[in-house]
Amino acid sequence: MQQFSATDAALSGFRLVREHLKTVGVWAILMTVASLIVSIATIKLAGPQMATMMELSAEPSSDPQATLKAMEGMGPLFLFSGLYSLVVYSVLLTGVNRLVLRPRDGASAYLRLGADELRQAAVLFLVNLILLGVYFALVIVVAIIAGIGVAIGGSAIGVALGVLLGLAAVAALVFVAIRLSFAGALTFDTGKISIRGSWDLTKGRFWPLLGSYFVATVLALVVYLLLVVIIAVVGAALGGGIAAMGDAFNPDMTSLATFFTPAGIVRTLFSGVLSILVLLIVFAPAPTIYAQLKGRDLSDTFG
């Protein structure tokens, strides 16, 4: 059985940044522009409603009716947001796969709009649909068994059983997600949408994959928090004061004026860098491991 280095794979995102700094810079600029356009459109279309929803979600005992009322008329915005995310991540994830698996195909900074991206969009949709279906199935099973536990042994038994089953359900969901984690790389490499192929290729490799993905996720979280703190400090130094630090974590989308505070401007300028770094750290391990399992030479990718 072909092996791979879980540690090297977990650090593959950092290595891609080091070896392809110009490409990462182009991606960051494009992502910044896209995020800016989407933020302005969101504020113009539903800024006050978004602010109200955020306030309600922060309240533990918020009225569900008030939340539903705040969501009225936001269907088109949610649809646009979903399509935007699907298109952007399809293009970027295809770019990551191309960067790792076809490092010499560097025209247009590894970004395209073509058949590879369409297949990646289909894979994203199908994998998320599968995970959503698994999630709802597990929720129903947990609710039924916990209900039976309450009926037989009382509320304490039911709660304990619900907690244990909930943890088991999370573990099951993580297991399925990891077993499907090669779907994007496999589809890009073969030119055919392949979900089952990922399940077969990850067989017997769950624990090293989990370790690699976990380390990559922790590293991405550290980078994210570090950059957010830097953004907050720079925003405060530019005139926003201590209160500006909160804007970096919880931007006010009521209007353009409240969104583009000193901290908001800095956050917007750094948004592309933040998004691309996190994307590479989290998603580069999968195609890197896939390439190692296939015996590919990655010297052109990582130098």
- pLDDT at 58 (0 to 100): 57
Mean pLDDT calculated for residue range 155-160: 72
How many angstroms separate the CA atoms of 18 and 303, rounded?
9
Domain count, the chain: 1
Question: Does 1 reside within a domain?
Answer: no
Question: Does 263 reside within a domain?
Answer: yes
Task: Give the predicted TM-score (pTM) of the model.
Answer: 0.85
Question: Does 10 reside within a domain?
Answer: yes
Q: What is the pLDDT of residues 171-211, one digit of tens each?
A: 999 999 999 999 999 999 999 998 999 999 999 899 999 99
Question: Does 113 reside within a domain?
Answer: yes
Question: Does 177 reside within a domain?
Answer: yes
The pair of structure tokens assigned to 263 is: 């901290």
Sequence-distant (≥ 6) Cβ neighbours of residue 26 within 8 angstroms: 109, 111
Question: Does 52 reside within a domain?
Answer: yes
Write down the mean pLDDT value for the chain.
83
- pLDDT at 154 (0 to 100): 64
**What is the percent of the chain where pLDDT is above 70?**
81
Mean pLDDT calculated for residue range 12-41: 90
For 50, 60, 92, 194, 251, the CA distances from 55, given in Å and listed in that order, are 9, 10, 32, 42, 12
C-beta separation of 247 from 264 below 8 A = yes
Question: Does 254 reside within a domain?
Answer: yes
- Give me the amino acid identity at 291: A
Judged by phi (left if over 0) then psi (alpha if -120 to 50, else beta), residue 252 lies in beta
- pLDDT at 1 (0 to 100): 46
Question: Does 38 reside within a domain?
Answer: yes
C-beta separation of 298 from 291 below 8 A = yes
- Give me the amino acid identity at 203: K
Structural domain range at position 30: 6-302
